[in-house]
Amino acid sequence: MAHHAESEIKNPSSIWVSLPGYKPLLLLIAAIVFTGLVVIPPPQSMIDLVSKVNPPGYSLYSGCKTITDNVNSKLRPAAFHNKNRPNSLNTKGHEDEPLFTHRDTARIAKVMLAIFFLAVFLWGTEALPLGATDVLVAVMLYLFAILPIDEISRAYMKDAVFFIFGILAVAVGVGKTGLDKRIGLILLSRIKNTRAFAFIFLPILAMSASFLSEHALVALLIPVLMGIYKVTCKMYGVEKDRALAIFLLLGICFAANHGGPGSPAAGGRNAIMVGYLMEHGSTISFLNWMKYGMPFVPLMAIVIGGYMYIRCKPRFKVKDINPSEIVKAEVARMPKFGGKEAMMAVILVILVAAWIILGEHSGLGGPTLYAVFAMFLCRIITWDDIQEGVALDVVGLYAAACAMGVGLQFTGGALWLADTFVKFLPDFMSEGDMLVVGISLLTGIMTNFMSDGATVAALGPIVLPMASLADIHIWKLGLACAFSSSFANFLVVGTPNNAIAFGMGRDPETGERLLSVFDFVKYGIPVTILGWIVLWFWTILGYWRFMSWPGM
């Protein structure tokens, strides 16, 4: 019987048998729900939104007054421009291409939301391989005519996508030359046990991420930590210790994510909010931002360290970790510094300098691709190294997430979600500090499904005008929105940090992936809840009440 059952599982004709990356029952459920969402009519609130003149939070093209106009100008350009030129002759081609009505536009927005939820479900359950879902998003965007094909291609090729590919490739070069071990010695030389890692190293990392590229910090540290992971497992005669891997990988990932509130330099999302505040005539300085945000960072990092320590340490198969001793021993066995390792160090220093000097406004992807080319030029890596070491499905995952973000913004689906949430806020959260709490809740949820920058860009124009209506300082609403956009913890697509940790978190010898998509859900949701608790009771309802606010 056992042999017969095994042969059935291996039989490719048994399409209802679940396999890694293929769960037919979940696929059937997803297909039924998706079909239902596509077929049902759009809600009236969505129709009202797309027909609203100059909707706040939505960027209209020149000559457009509503979201429907925007959609027509992109998807029906000839007919739209012909309509706006009443004295010109209509051609038969234009007559054959009618403009979208408000209901049609709302239907497109509804379908875009259905595609979004379908992709999130498939990524979260891995009912299909990650790469297959990445491609499915493009297929759906084209099949339902959400965007023109050229726009879909452009949406997949964002700067963040090039950055993720590039940084994964740079990590291959750093690991191949052994430079990661020397970097580890510098960063972890005084971290001698699990407790020190959780309560000393993670807060230092979070505060560093307030000023340096959090993505670069995560990408540089993971190869070092994977080396520590493997050596520790060998020391204790353990083949694999998933709890230890989760502690190391998600620990630095979550800590780096929550360095965002520390300063405006932490990421593009903060720069966007600074710009919005400036447009509202309430400019915030670098030091003022730090004054209101930096106290949150070390405490939140300690909370993250404590949570990961309590959740993971009892399940370690190894007794403990000593990063300091492991890294020192690894470096002692290495040859003298020089050759390709020295060239890799020069490339890395120039790359980090480019990130800092040029800033995110000039893009992170360009300098990173220069570094990849330099590694090829110096014969540090080969194309085979890239194919073996770079998780292209993770690169595609973030590319698909960027494309969905473009689709959600273009169709108005993202704005409808935000607007619906705000309308459902209870009365006690409609004014004062409780409104700030509600805004942080909304932003924290949305940032897990869109990029942090897109979330702040969509919500900023909606939430900032509430300040005068609710008699609250505009900085409070703006900072709460920007701070909670750092809470992208429970989906791989939420931030490049998560994608980098997922893609690079592999056993150094076997290449086995040590994190699953569900690990982010399992550990990330509690961390996000803890983030809200710390933000609400330590920051918004805590030290902010004892601080002065200009003009109040």
Domains of the chain, by residue range, sit at 20-128, 160-267+287-389
What lies within 8 Å, CB to CB, of 529 at 6+ separation is none
Q: pLDDT tens digits for the chain (552 residues)?
A: 344 444 444 455 566 666 666 788 889 999 999 999 999 999 999 999 999 998 876 878 888 999 999 999 999 988 888 776 655 555 544 455 789 999 999 999 999 999 988 987 887 677 888 888 889 999 999 999 999 989 999 988 877 788 778 878 888 888 888 887 777 777 787 888 999 999 999 999 999 888 776 877 888 888 889 988 988 998 899 989 999 999 999 999 999 999 999 988 777 678 778 877 887 778 888 788 989 999 999 999 999 999 999 999 999 999 898 888 887 777 777 778 888 989 999 998 898 788 767 765 666 788 889 999 999 999 999 999 998 878 788 788 778 877 887 888 899 887 887 778 777 778 777 778 888 999 999 899 988 877 677 678 767 777 887 776 667 898 999 999 999 999 999 888 778 888 889 988 988 888 888 998 889 999 999 999 999 999 999 999 999 999 998 876
Q: Which residues is 22 bridged to in the sheet?
A: 19
Cα–Cα distance measured from residue 69 to residue 35, given in angstroms and rounded to the nearest whole number: 27
Q: Which pLDDT tens digit goes with each residue over 256-291?
A: 999 999 988 777 678 778 877 887 778 888 788 989
Phi-psi bin for 89: left (phi > 0), alpha (psi -120 to 50), beta? beta
Where in 316-451 does DSSP place strands (E)? none
Which ranges constitute the DSSP H helices of 178-241? 179-188, 194-196, 202-208, 214-235
Q: What region does 363 belong to: left with phi over 0, alpha with psi -120 to 50, or beta? A: left
Q: What is the CA radius of gyration of the chain?
A: 25
CB 389 within 8 A of CB 168: yes
Alpha helices in 11-75 (DSSP H): 24-39, 44-51, 67-75
Spatial distance between the Cα atoms of 135 and 133, rounded to a whole number of angstroms: 5
pTM: 0.71
Helix (H) or strand (E) holding 18: none
The gap between the terminal CA atoms of the chain, to the nearest Å, is 78
